[in-house]
Amino acid sequence: MQKILVARPIFPDVIERLKQYFDVDWHQGEVLPADELTRRLADKDGALTAGDPVGAAALAAAPRLRVVSNMAVGYNNFDMAAFNAANVLGTNTPDVLNESTADFGWALMMAAARRIAESEHWLRAGKWQKWTYDGFLGSDIYGSTLGVIGMGRIGQALARRAKGFNMQVIYHNRSRVAPEIEAELNAEYASKQDLLRRADHVVLVLPYTKENHHTIGAAELAQMKPTATLTNIARGGIVDDAALVEALRTKQIAAAGLDVYEGEPRLNPDLLTVPNVVLTPHIASATEATRRAMANLAADNLIAALGEGPRAGRPPNPINPEVIGKARS
C-alpha cells in the first residue's frame, strides 16, 4: 500500500476516505517544522499540505514522492522549479472557494469602510455614552468605485457583487480579461496607477509571486485617496505591512481590512496599534461547506495522481501537468 503524509489537521472523514487507498501518516498538531516535514516525507509516495513550504531539499530527501496536493488555491509555498526538475506533481484546489472568499472580501471591505471593528472595540470599552452626529463617520459602498487588482475567478466574483451596490468597477490585471467578461461585469480595465488614483475601495485578489511582492507599498499608498480603503484577501507579502501601518497612522488612507500578512501567522505588531484596520486570521474561505470542499478536492487530487480511484491518473487540478507520467528524477 502506498504511503502518504497529511501534514495538517483536516476533517476526520476525509482521512477515512484516504485510508481506503493509502497508509496514512496524519499529523494533527501544530505546523510541522521544515526539518520534521522533510523527515516525514522521506518514505512517502504523496502528501497533502495546506500552505506548508515544500522545496528542493524536501523533494531530494523523498525519492518516492510523486505528488504534493495543496489544500489551497495559491501554491507559492511550492518551489515549482524544484517540482518540475524532480518530476513531482503539484496540485491545488481552485474554484470551490471563489464565492465564499468573495463574500468575505466584501464583508472585510465593508467593515473597514464603515469602521465596524473600531466602533465595536470602543463600545466594548464602555465609552459609548451618547449618540453624536459625527460618531465613527465612514465611507459609502453604494455608488462608489471598486478597484480590483487581480481579476481572476475571485476578482470576478467580487465584481459581480458590485452590481447590487451600483458601483463602478475598475480593475487591473496582468492581462485584460475577455471583452465578454468585461461587459458582463461592467468592468473597465485600468493601469495600476489609474486604479489607485480613482478607486474608493481597493481589493487585492492576485497571486503571490516574486514580481507581485509589495505590489502595494509606500509609493502606491500615496497615490490612493485619503478617503479610500484597502482590503487584502490575497496573500501576505503583496502589501508592505510596515508601509501600510504608516499610511493608516497618518490617515494617508482611511482604513484597511487584512486577512493575510507578511510572515503569517506572525504579523507586524504595529498593526495592533492602529485603530483603522480590521484584522482577521486568514479565514476568507472559512465556511464549513467550503473547507470541506477544499479538503475533498485535495484528497481527489492526491488519490487520482497516485493512480487510485475513479479518476486514476487524471487529477482534477494539476499545477504542472507536464510531469504527469514521467519517472521521478
Four-CA torsion 284, 281, 174, 109, nearest 10 degrees? 70
Of 160, 197, 214, 282, the catalytic one is 282
CA distance 179 to 165: 22
In the residue annotation, 118 being an active-site residue is answered as no
Nearest to 23 by CA among 54, 49, 44, 39: 44
Of 264, 292, 308, 328, the catalytic one is 264
- 236 within 8 A of 268, measured Cβ to Cβ: no
In the residue annotation, 235 being an active-site residue is answered as yes
Of 66, 172, 235, 291, the catalytic one is 235
Neighbour tally for 241: CB within 10 Å: 23
Nearest to 34 by CA among 56, 58, 70, 64: 58
In the residue annotation, 264 being an active-site residue is answered as yes
User: What are residue 89's DSSP bridge partners?
Assistant: 67
CA distance 276 to 255: 5
- 297 within 8 A of 303, measured Cβ to Cβ: no
**Which sequence positions are flagged as catalytic?**
235, 264, 282
